[in-house]
A and B are shown apart, each in its own frame.
Chain A
Amino acid sequence: MSYRSDIIDVLIEEKHLELSEKDHAFDVLNQTSTSNSPWYIQLLIGGGAWLASLLFMIFIGFTGVFNDQVSYIILGAVIVVITLALSMLTHRSSSLFLEQVLLAASLTGHGSLILGLAGQYTEQTIIIATAVIFLSTINILLYKSLFHKLLATWGFLLGSAIFMYELGFAQLPLMVFFLLIPSALMAWMWMNESRFVVGKWAEIGKPILYALTLYVLYGARISEQLSWIVHDFLNRDGDAIVNAALYIKALGVGYFIILAYVISAILKRLKVSLISFLGVGLILVSAFLSAAFYQSSSILVALILLLIGIERGNKILVPLAVISLVAFYSEYYYNLDLTLMKKSIVLASSGLVLLLAGWLTNRLGERT
C-alpha cells in the first residue's frame, strides 16, 4: 500500500502543492481512505435494497388500488420524482440508512413506471424506449448513488438499442454498433482514466466506466450465443440480410482496432516506438489473435480488459479479466467441432507456442 506521504512528497517536490497546503492534503487523503466503503458492504446494502424494493413492488401489486397501467405510471413517476428530490437535497449526507431507503424506493418507482409504460404501450415500443433513455439520463446526471448510475448506463444502452431497432435499423448492424462503440469508448475512457475520475466528471465518469466494462464484456458473450442461435438476421420488415458473416467479421476487425489502440497507448506511455521490433510484433500478434477469435469476440474483449487492468493497476479489472478469459477460452474449445484427438493437438501446440513466447519474453527482459 502506498503511503499517503509519498503522494504528498511527490507533489511538493514537483511544485504542484505548496507546503502550506500539506495538512489540507493529508486531511483529504485520510478522509478518502475512510469514506469509501469496501465492496462487500456496498454489496450488502445493494442486496438489501433490491430485496426490499421487490417486496414493495409485490405489496403494490397486491393492493389492488392501483389496478391499471396508468396508476402504475403515475405512482412510479411520483416515487421517482420524490426520491430524486431527496437525493439532491441530501447530496452531501453520508447516511447509509438514507442512501439505502432512497435506493430501494427509487428502484420501486422506476420498476413501477416502466411496467406501467410497458403495459400501456405494448404495441408502441418506441415510447417505452424513449422513456427508458430519458429516465436513464436523469439518473446518470442527477442521482448521487454509484449503483443508480451503473444501472442507468445499462438502461441507456438498452433503451437506445431498442429505439434504433424501432426506427428501422436491422439487428445485426445494431448489434455490431452497440458492441463496438461502447467497447471503443470504454477503452478510451480507461486509457484516459484520470480525465474521468477527477474533477467535475468524477461522479459520472467512474460508474459509467464500470457499467460500460461489464456491459461490453457480457454483451460480447451474449451476442456470441445469439449468433449461434440466430442464423438469419432480419431487419424490422422481416427481410433476411445477406452477407451476415461480413458483420461478424466486422466485429473482429473492430476489436483488433481497439486492441491495437490499447497496445499503442501503453507503448506510447513507456516511450516505446510503435514501429520498433516490439511494437510491430505486438500489433501482429493482436492481428493474429483477432483473426483467430473473431467468432468468439468475448475472448478478445477479456484480453483487452486484461491489458487495460494491468496498465491502470486496477484490482477489479485484472481478476475479472483473467477469470473471464479462462472461462470464455475453455468454452470456445469445448464448442469446437473437432475430435478429442484434434483438440488435444491444437491445445498442446498452442500451449507450447505460448510457453516459448513466455521464455523468449523472459530472456529478452533479462538481457535488457
Chain B
Amino acid sequence: MISLPKNLSVDKSGLFQLASELPLSRKVVESTLESIGGLPDREDWHGWLTVILYGLGTALFLAGVIFFFAYNWEQLERFERFALLGLGVVISATAAYWLGLEKLSGKLWLTTASIITGVLLATFGMVYQTGADSYVLFYSWAALIAPWVIAARFQPLWLIWLVLVNMAVLRWAYIVKPSFLDPENFLHQLMLLGFVINAVMLLVRETTSLIHLDPATGRWLPRIIAASLLAGLTAIPVEGIIDDDQGFAWSILLGLYFITLVSIGYFYVNKRHDLVMLTLAMISIMVVLTVGVIHTLFENSFDDGMFFITGIIIILETAAAAAILMHFYKKWKVEEEYNELS
C-alpha cells in the first residue's frame, strides 16, 4: 500500500514564531517538529519515493509508447490504428478497475482512457473523412466519457469534460447558427451560452451533491470555473465603458455580471467560506473600476498627472480589497481554530 506523507499538512510557522518568542534552541525546534509529524519519517519517505518512481516511470513509459506509435503511424493500416487505440482504452480502463478508483493511480488510468477515447474518435473522423463538424467530435467524446467522469470523482477529469462540453456547445452555435440566436451581437450571445453552461456547472457543484469530488484534492475545479466565468464577464462592463453603444445581449450579460458578483459574495461569505472566490471577485471589481477611472480621466484630454492619480487609485483599491479579504481571513481562521480545539 502506498501512503503519502502527512508532514505537508503541518503548519510550521506557528512553531517557528513561538521558538523566536520563548526562545527555543534549534535542536528543540527540530525535535518538536519531528514529534508533531512535521518532518517525514522513514515510512513517509518510502511513500514519497514510491509515488515519485511510479509516477515518473509511468509518464516516461507512456511517453515512449506514444513516440513509438508516432514514429510508425504512417505505416499502420487503418484497422491497426483503431485496434491500437481501442486496446489503449481497454488496457487503461481495466487498469483503473483493477487498481480501484479510490486510488490516485486508478483515477489517472481512467483519465488516460478518457483521453485515448477522444483520440480514437478523432482518428475515426480523419480516416473516414465523415465530413462531420468538429462539435460532433466534442459532444460524442463528452457523452462517451461522462459515466467515467462521474465515477472517478477526479477534478482534472471533470475539467477536461467541462472543456469538451463548452467546445461542443459553442462550436455548434457558431457553425449551425440556430434561429434563436440573433445574427447581430452574435459574440455576446455566444458568451451568454458559455456563461449558462459554466454557471450551471458551478451551481450544481456547490449547492447539490450531484457532482462528487474527492475532498482530499482541494477545491481548485470550482475555483477555475469561477475564474473563467469572472474573466469573461469582466470584459462586459469594460466594453461598455469604452463603447456605450451595446446591444440587448450585452445588457443581459451586464446584469448577470452584477448578479454573479453578489451571488459569489453572499454564498462564499455565508454558506461556504472560500477566500479565493472572494479574491477573484475583488480582482474583477478592481479591473472594472480602474478601467472606468482611466477612461474618465483620459477621455477628453491628456495630462501626465493622470498617471499619478491612476497610480493612487490603484493603491487605494488594492488596499481596500486586501483589508476586506484579510478581515474575512482572520475571522474564519479564528472560527476554524475554535472548532478544532472544541
CB-defined contacts of B12 to chain A, threshold 8 Å: 313
Tell me whether A276 is interfacial, beta carbon within 8 Å: no
Residue contact B307 to A5, C-beta cutoff 8 Å: no
CB-defined contacts of A343 to chain B, threshold 8 Å: 64, 67
29 contacts between A and B (CB under 8 A): A16-B28, A25-B22, A32-B18, A34-B334, A41-B325, A41-B326, A44-B279, A44-B318, A45-B318, A47-B318, A55-B308, A56-B311, A58-B307, A59-B307, A198-B16, A270-B42, A312-B39, A318-B8, A340-B68, A341-B71, A347-B60, A355-B53, A355-B54, A357-B57, A358-B49, A358-B54, A361-B53, A364-B46, A368-B42
A356 to B60, CA, bound (A): 13
The binding surface of chain B is classed by DSSP as: helix
Residue contact A340 to B311, C-beta cutoff 8 Å: no
- Those of B281-325 within 8 Å (CB) of chain A: 282-283, 286, 304-305, 307-308, 310-312, 314-315, 317-319, 321-323, 325
A183-202: CB near B (< 8 Å → 1, else 0) gives 00000000010110111001
Tell me whether B208 is interfacial, beta carbon within 8 Å: no
Which residues of A are in contact with B by a Cβ distance under 8 Å? 1-7, 10-11, 14, 16-17, 21, 24-25, 28-34, 36-38, 40-41, 44-45, 47-49, 51-53, 55-56, 58-59, 62-63, 96-97, 100-101, 104, 192, 194-195, 197-199, 202, 266, 269-270, 272, 306, 310-315, 318, 326, 333, 339-341, 343-358, 361-362, 364-365, 368
Tell me whether B232 is interfacial, beta carbon within 8 Å: no
- Assuming A351-B60, A355-B54, is B46 touching A361 (CB within 8 A)? yes
A315 to B13, CA, bound (A): 12
Most buried by B among A51, A349, A361: A361
- Assuming A318-B8, A361-B46, A361-B53, is B311 touching A62 (CB within 8 A)? no
Q: How far is the CB of B15 from chain A (nearest CB, A)?
A: 5
Tell me whether B228 is interfacial, beta carbon within 8 Å: no
Of chain A, the residue at the smallest CB distance from B317 is A48
Residue contact A10 to B305, C-beta cutoff 8 Å: no
Residue contact A344 to B322, C-beta cutoff 8 Å: no
Q: How far is the CB of A244 from chain B (nearest CB, A)?
A: 31
A192 to B337, CA, bound (A): 29
Closest 7 CB pairs of A and B: A348-B64, A351-B61, A48-B318, A358-B53, A354-B57, A351-B60, A347-B64
Q: How far is the CB of A149 from chain B (nearest CB, A)?
A: 17
Interface residue tally on B, bucketed by range: 35 or more
- Assuming A41-B279, A48-B314, is B20 touching A199 (CB within 8 A)? yes
Residue contact A3 to B341, C-beta cutoff 8 Å: yes
Which residues of B are in contact with A by a Cβ distance under 8 Å? 2, 5, 7-24, 26, 28-33, 35-43, 45-50, 52-54, 56-68, 70-71, 275-276, 279, 282-283, 286, 304-305, 307-308, 310-312, 314-315, 317-319, 321-323, 325-326, 329-330, 333-334, 337, 340-341
